[in-house]
Amino acid sequence: MTANAAERLIQHYVDNFRRLPWRAPPGSQPPDPYRVWLSEIMLQQTTVATVTPRFERFVGRWPTVQALAAASDEDILSEWAGLGYYARARNLIACAREVARRGGFPSTAAELRVLPGVGAYTSAAIAAIAFGERVPAVDTNVRRVIARLEALARPGRSAIEQRLFEMMHGQRPGDVVQAMMDLGATVCRPAKPRCEICPLAPDCAAFASGAREAFPARRVKAPRPQRHGLAYWTERAGCVWLVRRPAKGLLGGMAALPGSEWGDSRSAGVNPAGSIRHVFTHFSLELQLVVKTEPEGEGWWQPFGDLDAAGLPTLYRKAADLMLGRDDRLAA
């Protein structure tokens, strides 16, 4: 990697950078660490296109980490609904409160790393982008670009980090990280990389080899296990009975339909009114919906017309839509 390549990378970034609400333009004052942190947590599971309007709503409602720390768990969890993986929202709350207690975000990756929900990548990204620390932040986009640059089929983490660290020499670390993220997202894409417009093409071993997409080698994914569960649909006077899931575990603390534990096989002897399928990170779930006449567990009656306010996660929203869509009561 020559200094020349890093300079071309930064020039390409200056000319083409994506305007995102958590970013600062290259060369200007670094962005607010609160916004960098929040965007990185949201982006861990979801695309930039989905995150952008949700991010704007979040910071419109809670413009500072202190404001977020002072909000109620329920308000934050319902604002998070649909952004996936609710353990992240729980860590988000814990992290905001810890940062507010400290009086602000720490400024190094090592100190950021100990905050709830902040892993190796996120801590490095915040430190480099918001505080200018020369620390390599490697996400899947950056990993792919460097694996291709060096024609590494199975790159180790330290080899990738070392290359990125070298590219930061004499440059603003945050600009290098963001330039690489953008290049991976828009030019060095997983399929059909746009090498003809890539500023790194003269240095790229994969490009020279003609087998650009062979690097890095694809990981063979294990099939997702299938799980099954029941959800109970109990309605009265235009309302449905909802409960809150236990704070720990999948969808922890979220509003839900009551139901069974999720297991490896279907429950015998039930007569479901319908079923939905939902894919989680580590398994697929088939949820059978069973109509009950009496409410189960501790909960509350939620009006059909005000389901949005309950902050139902996608799984239960799909279930409610299925049950309500059946006789068009939502449209009534």
d(CA 184, CA 188): 5
Catalytic option among 40, 133, 161, 235 = 40
Window of 34-42, 53-61, 84-92, 187-195 that interacts with ligand SF4 by CB under 6 A: 187-195
Q: Which CB, 33 or 199, lies closer to ligand SF4? A: 199
145 part of the interface to ligand SF4, by CB under 6 A: yes
Q: Which CB, 133 or 182, lies closer to ligand SF4? A: 182
164 part of the interface to ligand SF4, by CB under 6 A: no
Tell me how far, at minimum, the Cβ of 16 lies from ligand SF4, in Å.
13
d(CA 109, CA 124): 5
192-231 positions binding ligand SF4, by CB under 6 A: 193-195, 198, 200-201, 204, 206-207, 212
**Residue 320, CA atoms < 13 Å, CB-side half-sphere:** 26
Tell me how far, at minimum, the Cβ of 264 lies from ligand SF4, in Å.
42
181 part of the interface to ligand SF4, by CB under 6 A: no
What are residue 275's phi and psi, to 5 degrees?
Answer: -150, 155
Whether residue 177 contacts residue 128, with contact meaning beta carbons closer than 8 Å, is answered with yes
What are residue 243's phi and psi, to 5 degrees?
Answer: -130, 170
Per CB under 6 A, the list member of 143, 148, 172, 317 interacting with ligand SF4 is 148
310 part of the interface to ligand SF4, by CB under 6 A: no
Would you list the DSSP string of 38-102? HHHHHHTTS-HHHHHHHHHHHHHH--SHHHHHHS-HHHHHHHHTTSS-HHHHHHHHHHHHHHHHH
142 part of the interface to ligand SF4, by CB under 6 A: no
Residue type, 21: P
Window of 25-33, 51-59, 169-177, 188-196 that interacts with ligand SF4 by CB under 6 A: 188-196
What is the residue whose two structure tokens read 């990280």?
177
DSSP state of 238: T
Whether residue 124 contacts residue 181, with contact meaning beta carbons closer than 8 Å, is answered with no
CA distances from 318 to 61, 196, 231, 277, 303 (A): 26, 43, 12, 9, 16
Q: Which CB, 147 or 287, lies closer to ligand SF4? A: 147
Tell me how far, at minimum, the Cβ of 43 lies from ligand SF4, in Å.
21
Is 40 noted as a catalytic residue in this protein?
yes
Q: Which CB, 194 or 326, lies closer to ligand SF4? A: 194
Query: Among all residues, which ones are annotated catalytic?
Result: 40
Judged by the rule CB under 6 A, the positions of this chain that interact with ligand SF4 are 145, 148-149, 187-188, 193-195, 198, 200-201, 204, 206-207, 212
